[in-house]
Amino acid sequence: MKRRDFIRSASIGSSLLLNGGLSFLTQSCQHSMDMDASRSYTAVVEGDFNTAFQLPLQSSAKNSNLSPQYITTQIFRNKNTQALGYTNMFLGPTLRANNGESVAIRLTNQLSEETNIHWHGLIIPPIMDGHPKNIIPPGGSFNYQFTISQRAGTYWYHPHPHGTTGSQVYRGLAGFFIVNDAEEIALNLPAGNYEIPFLIQDKRLAMDSSLRYSPTMSDTMTGYLGDTVMVNGLSAPYMNIESRWYRLRVLNGSNARLYNLAFSNNAGFYVIGSDGGLLQTPERVNSILLAPGERADLLIDFTNYTTGTELFLLSNVFSNGGVQGEQSFKICKFNVVNSVTDNFTLPSTLSTITRMLPDSSIRTRNFDIGNMMNGNHGSHATGGSSSPMHTINNKIYSMDRIDETVRAGETEVWEFDNSKGDEIHPMHIHGLQFQVLGRTGGRGIITPIEKGWKDTVLCMPGEKVKVILTFPYSQGTFVLHCHNLEHSDDGMMLNYTIQ
């Protein structure tokens, strides 16, 4: 089977869908697949935007307890939905810590399956990072203890057991981990009710009203797309706002869906931070493409809006994204309900980003992410497909194989080559933050959200993306993988060891 044929039939499916507006299974695929002969594509169905926006609960990371458990929630209107939570609520609390603080977080696994926690974006020792080897059995517990030693930023946490990460994140295991520091506080950015963790995910309700996760082979290709877009676990929310500046810490915590974020009136807004904290200067944009795993710290100037104004944050169509890019849909409604005076002025400088120079790299490693396998390739965990297709350097993930060996303190260039590929791959490296050096093919540029520190970089079909990274003094094994969770569960992941 050729990927292109798959994408093509997916496109046909989605244009039918846009006319019909319902989820459906298309006719069986004409290609000779040994797996399932049908494919599904889930287009977004917009809600009515009359559910009040909510913030996730917030707690200090210092001494917290996270207990993955089965919950019943009403995230789909009037329906009791079986899902997962880190407490007795859907998703996980927003944890906060200051740079320099030591935290202790106790995981108690109340599920009947293995889990663990990965602290996405945090620079911590391998043993605390939630490597898929380090899993906690049902009934087991583990104390994650580490010291925060990195810049303020919007980080997050989620499970990382191999083969079931997609399933567990999808069903509700994800939360913010926000780090603050003195530099950021000195900027006096909008805070409190005006600083909003904003987790975007797409879900679909299964026949039995659960968030049952059952990817077909085609879901494994495109990723598990939902028909309902949720913010902090609520579909189609509205937010009552004042005429002032707001800070949105946006996290795309979807398994596979990209969002091309923009406002319905096409108003400009400012990117002030990305995965690894503040940019050097605010970047004014009208839209940003945000891939699974990525964060965008945004400032939005609502000061000129009069009371009664309504506008939407939406996802616009985008090119080169296959079925995903073809639909535009609303995500959240903003109602201006109060006129206030806001003395905030946008800082012209936010932070200092010391550019890493290609000269400091002692080696370039190439990662071919544009090739797929077909057929059976040995044993595989419990991911979407029993014959894995997604590879890095033509390899399917193997838990105990070391794929790359690097040295602590050394700097390298890593190149993710999707030039021959036709799928979307947001590539994520554990254990560090990197900088994007350049992109050839496709969009051909470094985007505004890529001008600071990153841990996840979007490689669209046809693109080759170069990043530069220095390995921490933290010996042991980390993973790198595609953050389309269907792809990584399918085997699109490698181990690298720091010596």
Chain residues that interact with Cu ion, rule: CB under 5 A: 120, 425, 430, 482, 484, 487
**Counting contacts by CB under 6 A, is residue 293 touching ligand C2O?**
yes
Q: Do 292 and 255 meet the contact criterion of CB atoms below 8 Å apart?
A: yes
User: What is the rounded distance in angstroms from the CA atom of residue 177 to the CA atom of residue 184?
Assistant: 16
**Choosing among Cu ion, ligand C2O, none, which partner's interface includes residue 203 (Cβ < 5 to 8 Å by kind)?**
none
Query: Binders of ligand C2O among 24-83, rule CB under 6 A?
Result: none
Q: Do 33 and 374 meet the contact criterion of CB atoms below 8 Å apart?
A: no
What's phi and psi for 251, nearest 5 deg? -120, 125
> How far apart are CB 160 and ligand C2O at their closest, in Å?
6
> In terms of CB distance, is 236 or 494 closer to ligand C2O?
494
> How far apart are CB 482 and ligand C2O at their closest, in Å?
9
Query: Binders of ligand C2O among 401-430, rule CB under 6 A?
Result: 428, 430
Task: State the number of binding residues for ligand C2O (CB under 6 A).
Answer: 10
> In terms of CB distance, is 90 or 416 closer to Cu ion?
416
> In terms of CB distance, is 3 or 131 closer to ligand C2O?
131
> How far apart are CB 362 and ligand C2O at their closest, in Å?
25
Query: Binders of ligand C2O among 297-326, rule CB under 6 A?
Result: none
Q: Choose which of 288, 481, 489, 492 interacts with ligand C2O (CB under 6 A).
A: 481
> How far apart are CB 493 and ligand C2O at their closest, in Å?
8
> How far apart are CB 371 and ligand C2O at their closest, in Å?
21
**Counting contacts by CB under 6 A, is residue 13 touching ligand C2O?**
no
User: What is the rounded distance in angstroms from the CA atom of residue 452 to the CA atom of residue 350?
Assistant: 11
Token pair, residue 467, equals 């990043």
**Counting contacts by CB under 6 A, is residue 203 touching ligand C2O?**
no
> How far apart are CB 212 and ligand C2O at their closest, in Å?
22
> How far apart are CB 430 and ligand C2O at their closest, in Å?
6
**Counting contacts by CB under 6 A, is residue 162 touching ligand C2O?**
no
Q: Do 184 and 154 meet the contact criterion of CB atoms below 8 Å apart?
A: no
**Choosing among ligand C2O, Cu ion, none, which partner's interface includes residue 487 (Cβ < 5 to 8 Å by kind)?**
Cu ion
Query: Binders of ligand C2O among 107-146, rule CB under 6 A?
Result: 118, 120
> In terms of CB distance, is 227 or 450 closer to ligand C2O?
450
> In terms of CB distance, is 311 or 396 closer to ligand C2O?
396
**Counting contacts by CB under 6 A, is residue 160 touching ligand C2O?**
yes
> In terms of CB distance, is 223 or 237 closer to Cu ion?
223
Stretch that binds ligand C2O, among 144-152, 213-221, 333-341, 475-483 (CB under 6 A): 475-483
Q: Which pairing describes strands 310-315 and 102-108: parallel, antiparallel, or unpaired?
A: unpaired
**Choosing among Cu ion, ligand C2O, none, which partner's interface includes residue 173 (Cβ < 5 to 8 Å by kind)?**
none
> How far apart are CB 293 and Cu ion at their closest, in Å?
7
Angstrom distances, CA of residue 323 to CA of 235, 250, 286, 332: 21, 23, 23, 22
Stretch that binds ligand C2O, among 21-29, 32-40, 434-442, 479-487 (CB under 6 A): 479-487
Closest C-alpha to 207, from 116, 79, 392: 79
User: What is the rounded distance in angstroms from the CA atom of residue 258 to the CA atom of residue 461?
Assistant: 13
User: What is the rounded distance in angstroms from the CA atom of residue 175 to the CA atom of residue 75?
Assistant: 16
326: number of Cβ within 10 Å: 18
> In terms of CB distance, is 246 or 496 closer to ligand C2O?
496
Stretch that binds ligand C2O, among 137-145, 281-289, 460-468, 476-484 (CB under 6 A): 476-484
> How far apart are CB 97 and ligand C2O at their closest, in Å?
18
Stretch that binds ligand C2O, among 41-49, 80-88, 389-397, 478-486 (CB under 6 A): 478-486
> How far apart are CB 339 and ligand C2O at their closest, in Å?
40
> How far apart are CB 259 and Cu ion at their closest, in Å?
16
Residue ranges in contact with ligand C2O by CB under 6 A: 118, 120, 158, 160, 293, 428, 430, 479, 481, 483
